[in-house]
Amino acid sequence: MEVLRDLSACPRPGEGTAVTIGAYDGVHMGHQAVIGEVRRRADERGLATAVVTFDRHPASVVRPESAPRLLTDLDQKLELLAATGIDYCLVVTFDETRRQESAEDFVREVLVDCLAARLVVVGEDFHFGRERAGNVNLLRRMGGELGFEVDPLELVDREGRPAGEGERVSSTRIRSALVEGRLDEANALLGRPHEVRGVVARGDKRGRELGFPTANVSVPGDILLPADGIYAGWFERSDGSVHAAAISLGRRPTFYVQAHASLLEAHLLDFDEDLYDEHAKVRFVAWLRGEERFESVEALIEQIGRDCDEARRVLSSN
């Protein structure tokens, strides 16, 4: 996949492109079904394929006070899009200027002048441009003038089939599942374990004192963490090696009456090396239990041991 980050470097492929547009946060099963359909229709017409997405979630500019936390950062989103087999990904800078751009100007500048669109595939409820004035009807009207077709798609379920209201795969539904502790549902809709990325920071070394040293992963504030609790998962180091881990996400109520933010700690099973300042990827595979306050440190240590055993058991079959 060729990543385009500047409209001045547009390819304008001679055969034209089949294009889809969206935030694509999470690149979940619904997104993958749309892209699969784009590729199928492009193959029928002899077109290249392209995804138009944004360098940040548009809501962070349009309504920053209520913008959602993200399922993927930009790097991960691009990795996931590349895995779909798409030819081009155009990353559009979404700033105040872009927010004020009319839908018509976006179509001409991005779809036609940059990507030579011959087919545009979007969801039936797709909106874009200033005040969300752009929709499928506008695309059809402009397509008739500028030489591209428009194929609206129904929203789909996790199998890629047309879905009812409660079955639709959406980033919003996945976010709700994660924060409400329904990890299995979220991972099924994503088509993979939910992953967060960050740098291993120095902590208070309490885990080492307890006999279970942890990597404290500092995750950017705009990335969505799942519900507080204990999880089994995978920890990927900067060198690409992957390690089984028991993961604690929470406020450590045994030691602190009130902590201001949840802390992500990963205890790598059967591992004891320095991880400070490494960039890490943490994948949440299974929920083990909720966070608890223990009456003694000894009781906590015993429970952590059981958590590690359960994480080993769960991960041995994943």
Q: Does 130 reside within a domain?
A: yes
Q: Is the pLDDT of residue 284 over 90?
A: yes
User: Residue 98 — very low, low, confident or very high, per pLDDT cuts 50/70/90?
Assistant: very high
Separation between Cα atoms, residue 111 and residue 12, nearest integer Å: 10
Are residues 169 and 286 both part of a single domain?
no
Q: Is 28 in the same domain as 134? A: yes
Model confidence at 268: pLDDT above 80: yes
User: Active-site residue among 96, 265, 291, 298?
Assistant: 265
Region 261-265: what's the mean pLDDT? 85
Read off φ and ψ for residue 185, nearest 5 degrees: -65, -45
DSSP structural state of residue 109 = I
Give the span between the Cα atoms of 165 and 188, in whole angstroms. 17
Kindly report, residue by residue over 105-161, the tens digit of the pLDDT: 999 999 999 999 999 999 888 888 988 889 999 999 999 999 999 998 876 555 555
The token duo for 173 is 């539904």
pLDDT of residue 165: 52
Q: From CA 4, how far away is CA 39, in angstroms rounded?
A: 19
Predicted confidence at residue 250, as pLDDT, reads 86
Is residue 58 domain-shared with residue 153, that is, in the same domain? yes
**Looking at 93-145, which runs of residues are DSSP E strands?**
117-123
Residue 212 and residue 164 share a domain: no
Separation of alpha carbons 60 and 68, rounded Å:
8
Does residue 190 form part of some domain?
no
34, 144: one domain: yes
pLDDT at residue 81, as a whole number: 98
User: Contact 66/59 with Cβ under 8 angstroms?
Assistant: yes
Is 275 part of a structural domain of the chain? Answer: yes
Distance in Å from the first CA to the final CA of the chain: 29
Report the CATH number that the domain containing residue 85 is assigned in CATH: 3.40.50.620
- The answer to whether residues 168 and 66 belong to one domain is yes
Average the pLDDT over 182-203 and give the result.
94
DSSP state of 134: B
Q: What angle do CA 92, 98, 104 make, to 5 degrees?
A: 95
What is the count of structural domains for the chain? 2
Please compute the mean of the pLDDT values over residues 7-23 and round it to a whole number.
88
- Is residue 74 located within the same domain as residue 169? yes
pLDDT of 104: 96
Say whether 165 is catalytic: no
Residues 41 and 167 in one domain: yes
One domain for residues 107 and 240: no
Kindly state whether residue 262 falls inside one of the protein's structural domains: yes
Domain shared by 128 and 10, yes or no: yes
Once rounded to an integer, what is the mean pLDDT over residues 65-89? 96
Residue 84 and residue 77 in contact, taking contact as beta carbons nearer than 8 Å? no
Q: Tally helices (H) and strands (E) across the chain.
A: 10, 12
The whole-number pLDDT of residue 262 equals 80
**Residue 153 within a domain:** yes
Report if residue 305 sits inside a domain.
Answer: yes
Question: Maximum CA pair distance of the chain?
Answer: 73
pTM for this one?
0.90
**181 domain residue, yes or no:** no
Q: What is the mean pLDDT of residues 222-226?
A: 96
| 32 and 154 part of one domain | yes
Output the six-digit token pair for 314: 């769960």
Specify the 3-state DSSP secondary structure of 45: helix
Q: What percent of the chain has pLDDT over 90?
A: 70
* CATH number of the domain encompassing residue 199: 2.40.30.30
Give the pLDDT score at 254.
52
Residues 132 and 7 in one domain: yes
Can you tell me the distance from the alpha carbon of 139 to that of 148, in angstroms, rounded to the nearest whole number?
9
Higher pLDDT, 49 or 292: 49
Query: Who has greater pLDDT, 208 or 9?
Result: 9
Q: What tokens appear for 147 in the block?
A: 């030489």
What's the pLDDT score for residue 6?
A: 84
Q: In terms of residue numbers, what domain contains 310?
A: 195-315
Residue 182 lies in a domain: no
